[in-house]
Amino acid sequence: MGGGILAQLAEQWIYAVALIFARIGTATILLPGFGDQSVPPRAKITCGLALAIGLMPALPEPQVPDNTSLLFLMIGIEATIGAFIGLGARALMAALHILGAQVGFASGLSNSLTPNQANAESASAIASLLTMGAIAAIFLSNTHHVILMGLMRSYAILPPGQIMPGDLAQQIARLGGAAFYIAAAVGAPFYVLSLLLNLGMGLANRVMPAMQVFFVAAPGLIVAGLLLLAFAVPAILTYHNAELANWFETLVR
C-alpha cells in the first residue's frame, strides 16, 4: 500500500518537473548567456533541468492532467511560452547586431566579419564585440538574477496551460521594433560622424581632385569610428542592459 502511494507521488513529481522544464528549459536554451552558440547543448539542457528542479518549490504547482494527450498538449503550450520568453530576449539582443552592422558601415569596417559567439550566423567584428560585452554585462551586473525572477514571474502573467497566440505574436513584433529603435537611438552619433567625415572627404576631393581621397581619409574614418565606439560602449551596454532587465521585469513591451 505504501509503495503504491510512493510510486504515485513520484510519478506526479516527474510529470510536474516535465511541465516546468518545458517552459524553463526551452527558455534557457534560447536565453542570452545561458543558451549561446558557444555553450554545449548538454550544458544547456543540464542548466535548464537544474533550474526547473531548483525553482520548482517557488513556482505554483502545475495541475497534471490524467489524460496523456492533455499532458502532451500542456507540455507543448509550456514550451511555446518558454520559446516566447527566450525569443523575446533574443530579439532585444538583435539590437546589438543591427548596431554593429551600422557602426561597421559608418566606420568602414562593414566587411570585417567574424564567427559569432552568441548565434550560428556570422556577424561584423563590432557586432560580435558588442554582443560579448552585453553578455558579460548581464552577469557582472547581476541581470541574470532578474532573468530568473522573470522566469518565475511568467507563471503569474502566463498561467500554466493557458496561451494567447495573438498577444505573443504581437509582443514579438513589438520587440523586433524595439530592437531597431535601440540600434537607431544609440547609433545616432555614428551616423553624424559618418556624415561629417564623408562631407569633408567630398569637399577635399573637389578642392584637390588629384589627391586619392579614399586612400588618405579611409584610415582616418576607421580611427574616428573606433575612438567614438570606445567612448560610447559603456553607455551602449548600460542602456541595452536596462532595456533587457525591463523586459524581464514586465514581460510586456
Beta-carbon contacts of residue 152 (< 8 Å; ≥ 6 apart): 55, 58, 59
Report residue 84 as a C-alpha cell: 516566447
Q: What is the predicted pLDDT for the residue at 241?
A: 92
Q: What is the predicted pLDDT for the residue at 101?
A: 81
pLDDT in tens, the chain (253 residues): 445 666 666 677 778 888 889 899 899 988 888 888 888 888 888 888 888 888 888 887 777 777 778 888 888 889 999 999 998 899 898 888 888 888 877 777 766 555 565 555 556 778 888 888 899 899 999 888 899 898 888 888 888 878 888 888 888 888 888 888 988 888 888 888 878 877 877 787 777 777 776 777 777 778 888 888 888 888 999 999 999 999 888 887 6
Distance of CA 185 to the CA centre of its chain: 18
Q: What is the predicted pLDDT for the residue at 176?
A: 87
Report residue 138 as a C-alpha cell: 548581464
Q: What is the predicted pLDDT for the residue at 48?
A: 87
Beta-carbon contacts of residue 21 (< 8 Å; ≥ 6 apart): 48, 49, 52
Contact between 129 and 113 (Cβ < 8 Å): no
